[in-house]
Structure 1
Amino acid sequence: MPRIITLYVRWVDAFNRVVGRIVMFMIFVMIGVLLFSSVARTAFNSPLIWSIEVSQFMMAAYYLLGGAYAMQMGAHVRMDLFYSRWTDRTRAFVDALTIVLLFVFLGALLAGGISSTEYALRYGETSYTSWAPPLAPIKIIMTFGIFLMLLQSLSTFFKDVARARGMALDGEARP
């Protein structure tokens, strides 16, 4: 494979690995927020109007920013009727073909995310709850997560094409 593709794959994989490993620890922050909310409500009879919404925002950031890392690690669910019986090259060929549908889906999501983020920034969109936080920060994070997933999908596509051709990304033939 051309050197630029190899560099792209290495850079995107490394970046998404770092983001994914950092985001993994957000689960503990979410647990802390919900625990704090529970203690405030039960022990001090002081319910917090912001805790559930913050947890929802954090969960959205958690799975959208972690999606690219999950794809890189092969952690996404795949239907396996025939897949396990195919050779590695056949799997790579089919994966390279089907990932095109993922590009279309993620492209549509990204376009919608950008449009929604622009709207939130332009008009100061807020949530319809009593706390009414601004929605622009979470929309920016969500759009960034979709963008990372699109970058990782392209990286995966390049790796699949290389595997389908029986090569590693550096252009050498695989045994």
Structure 2
Amino acid sequence: MPRFFRAYVRYVDGFNYYAGRLMMYGFFIIVAILLWSTISKAMFTIPAFWTLEMAQFALVAYYLVGGAYSIQMGSNVRMDLFYGNWSTRKKAVFDSFTVLLLILYLGVLLYGAISSTMYAIDYQERSPSLWRPLMWPIKSVMCFGIFLMLLQAFSELLKDIAKLRGAEI
């Protein structure tokens, strides 16, 4: 494989690895937000209107930015009935085909996310809840997460192509 492809895989995998490890701590942020919601309702009898929506936003960031790490670690669900008995080459052929479908899906998803984010910025879109936060920050995080997953999917494709050629990246 050309040096550029190996460098691409190394940098994308490295960035997504550390981004995914960092996003693992996002779980504690979600728990803290929901804990504050419970405490504020029980002790202060003042419901914090922002907590549920903020927890949802944190969850979106958690699973979208961490999605590339999940792809990299092979944490996806796979029917192992046949796959587990296949040769490395046959797995690489099958994975190359499925990752192309993933790239198509993520490309369409990113196109829609960018369009939605631009709309949110242009019209200062707000959530219809009582808190009414601006939507463009979370939509920007969504675009970033989808973009990272797209980069990781290309990295996985390059690794599968290298396996088919008899070389590991």
Place the TM-score, normalised by the shorter chain, in its bin. Answer: over 0.9
1:49-84: CA deviation from partner (whole Å, max 9, x where unpaired): 000000000001100000000111111111223101
What is the CA distance between 1:8 and its match in structure 2?
0.2
- 1:91: which partner in 2? 91
Q: Distance in 2 between matches of 1:135 and 1:149?
A: 21
- 1:125: which partner in 2? 125
Please tell me whether the aligned partners of residues 13 and 152 of structure 1 are also in contact (alpha carbons under 8 angstroms).
Answer: yes
Gaps of 5+ in 2: none
AA partner of residue 142 (structure 1):
M
Q: Which moved more, 1:107-116 or 1:69-78?
A: 69-78
AA partner of residue 24 (structure 1):
M
- 2:7: which partner in 1? 7
Q: Distance in 2 between matches of 1:55 and 1:71?
A: 24
1:13-36: CA deviation from partner (whole Å, max 9, x where unpaired): 001011111111011011011001
AA partner of residue 25 (structure 2):
F
1:77-156 superposed matches below 5 A? 77-156=77-156
SS at match of 1:32: helix
**Seq. identity, %:** 49
SS at match of 2:84: helix
- 2:161: which partner in 1? 161
Q: Distance in 1 between matches of 2:19 and 2:47?
A: 33
Structure 1 runs of 4+ aligned residues shifted over 3 Å read none
What is the CA distance between 1:43 and its match in structure 2?
1.5
What is the CA distance between 1:126 and its match in structure 2?
0.2
Please tell me whether the aligned partners of residues 30 and 58 of structure 1 are also in contact (alpha carbons under 8 angstroms).
Answer: yes
What is the CA distance between 1:142 and its match in structure 2?
0.3
TM score, norm. by length of structure 2: 0.98
How big is the alpha-carbon RMSD for the aligned residues of Structure 1 and Structure 2? Answer: 0.7
Q: Distance in 1 between matches of 2:163 and 2:128?
A: 49
Q: Distance in 2 between matches of 1:98 and 1:165?
A: 18
- 2:52: which partner in 1? 52
Q: Distance in 1 between matches of 2:75 and 2:57?
A: 23
AA partner of residue 47 (structure 1):
P
Q: Distance in 1 between matches of 2:53 and 2:18?
A: 26
> What is the total number of aligned residue pairs between the two structures?
169
What is the CA distance between 1:165 and its match in structure 2?
2.1
TM score, norm. by length of structure 1: 0.95
Gaps of 5+ in 1: 170-175
Q: Distance in 1 between matches of 2:153 and 2:67?
A: 10
